[in-house]
Amino acid sequence: MRTSSLRLQLLAWVVLPLAGLATINLWTSQRNALATADLVTDRMLVGSARAIAEQVAMADGVLDATIPPAAIEMFDTGDRDSVYYRVETAGGRLLTGYPDLPVAPGDKSIEAAYRDHPLRLATLGHAVVGAGADSPVMVTVGVTLAGHDAMVKRLWFSAFVQQLALVAIAGVFVLLGLRRGLAPLISLRDAVRSPSRSDLDPVDVPGAQSEIRPLIDALNAYMERVRAQMGAQRRFIANAAHQLRTPLALLSTQASYALRETATEARQEALVALQASSGKLARLAEQLLTLSRAEPGSRRPRADRIDLTEAARHVLETQAPAAIARKIDLGLEEAGPVAVIGDGTMLREMIVNLVDNALRYSTSGGSVTVRLATIDGEAVLTVADDGPGIPPEERDHVFERFYRVAGSTEEGSGLGLAIVREVVENAGGRVTLGDSAAGGLVVEVRLPLA
């Protein structure tokens, strides 16, 4: 994985283009410096040539060219430049100077090599009064390039330093700005990582920018969700522990009673009750487990193809002995397979809870009917009993975990309908309560058909 640093990225994005611009700028400024140096040198060359030319005069009918010292000394800039000159007549007769010095054509100055030195030289034509065919005299002055180059260097170097300083200062400001800009992120990191944070309290980062604010808000919202889920989990565990305490106390009391009882019959009775209690406790544990499995995210959602009729038949067969023992008429009404998609184990557990509830609240001699049908393209499972039913004002609450209908004497766990609802909703269905024809409760479960 390539780790990328925001600092390096931003630095690269700011400083590299800036450095590029600075390079272009340096290149142009070098050209400018060169042009400036050329111009200055050319003016000096022309000035020097003019000074020499003005000293050329007719003396005693002969053209005399005397070189004024100022014309040479003007090039003495401390760069040890050599100055060459050549004065000749229009006819090409050399009056003074270096005969092999090249001549610049026209008015333009040129660069040429002379005695293995690069030179810049200019030629000036000057009319001399009375010189006849010798006029105008041509004065050529050349100078080596040390002074010229030193000038270019000086002009260019200051520009170079300026550009470099600009880039460096820009880089420093980018880093400073980043440090300031990233400070809220750093403090967010520290706040999240802080060992003193035991709870998932919302993080507050004072001074966070509007760009970072959404990140903090999202993080806080996420933590809030996690916290809510953990809270629900914690409440559930506390409730579950609470629910287990009374049955455990019962179990221990029954065991103590049986241990102390000497009469065989009473002892037998206690042991039978003890067995029943441990069965109920096992059922409660099973329900708690089912509920924790039905919890979103606790189990990979399964999409089995389940025949509800077959599942219901299986559940009823298992529950039949309990129904017979209580003289309850337990029946199944079906018209062939009803296939749905869902978690098979959970759907079966849902039916177990519905039937178990119906049997629990039915009076001895009553009846419990499980019906399966396909209505309006939905699988419909109803479980009807002729027990006391649930008052309408309680119906919203009975699906809550551990909720028990007030005044109910039956020892339910308050989990059955909670399990039913969670399983049905996980399978994309819904569950409703109604009154049965016999005045008891009807639970109707609708699930999408497979």
Does 113 bind other proteins (CB under 8 A)? Our answer is: no
Does 375 bind other proteins (CB under 8 A)? Our answer is: no
**Smallest gap, in angstroms, from Cβ of residue 306 to other proteins?**
36
Lateral strand order in the sheet of 83-88: 94-97, 83-88, 137-144, 117-126, 110-114
Stretch that binds other proteins, among 168-176, 178-186, 245-253, 382-390 (CB under 8 A): 245-253
**CA gap 59, 129 in Å, rounded:** 11
Does 270 bind other proteins (CB under 8 A)? Our answer is: yes
267: left (phi over 0), alpha (psi -120 to 50) or beta: alpha
Which of residues 66 and 246 has its CB atom nearest to other proteins in the complex?
246
Which of residues 333 and 411 has its CB atom nearest to other proteins in the complex?
411
Map residue 261 onto helix, strand or coil: coil
**Smallest gap, in angstroms, from Cβ of residue 243 to other proteins?**
8
Contact 190, 182 (CB under 8 A): no
- Pattern 409-448, other proteins, x by CB under 8 A: x-x-------------------------------------
**CA gap 85, 98 in Å, rounded:** 6
Stretch that binds other proteins, among 57-65, 175-183, 256-264, 433-441 (CB under 8 A): 256-264
Does 400 bind other proteins (CB under 8 A)? Our answer is: no
Which of residues 299 and 404 has its CB atom nearest to other proteins in the complex?
404
Q: In this structure, what token pair is assigned to residue 295?
A: 């919890």
Stretch that binds other proteins, among 91-99, 108-116, 120-128, 247-255 (CB under 8 A): 247-255
Map residue 63 onto helix, strand or coil: strand
Q: In this structure, what token pair is assigned to residue 354?
A: 């519905």
Which of residues 50 and 267 has its CB atom nearest to other proteins in the complex?
267
Lateral strand order in the sheet of 367-375: 329-333, 367-375, 378-385, 441-448, 430-435
- When binding is defined by CB under 8 A, the residue of 38, 42, 79, 261 that contacts other proteins is 261
**CA gap 225, 243 in Å, rounded:** 27
**Smallest gap, in angstroms, from Cβ of residue 366 to other proteins?**
20
Q: What is the DSSP string of 69-125?
A: HHHHHTT-SSS---EEEEEE-TT--EEEE-TT-----TT--EEEEETTEEEEEEEEE
- When binding is defined by CB under 8 A, the residue of 55, 96, 187, 253 that contacts other proteins is 253
Stretch that binds other proteins, among 30-38, 57-65, 403-411, 438-446 (CB under 8 A): 403-411
Contact 360, 345 (CB under 8 A): no
- When binding is defined by CB under 8 A, the residue of 260, 305, 397, 430 that contacts other proteins is 260
Q: Which residues bind other proteins (CB under 8 A)?
A: 242-243, 245-246, 248-254, 256-257, 260-261, 270, 273, 277, 406-407, 409, 411
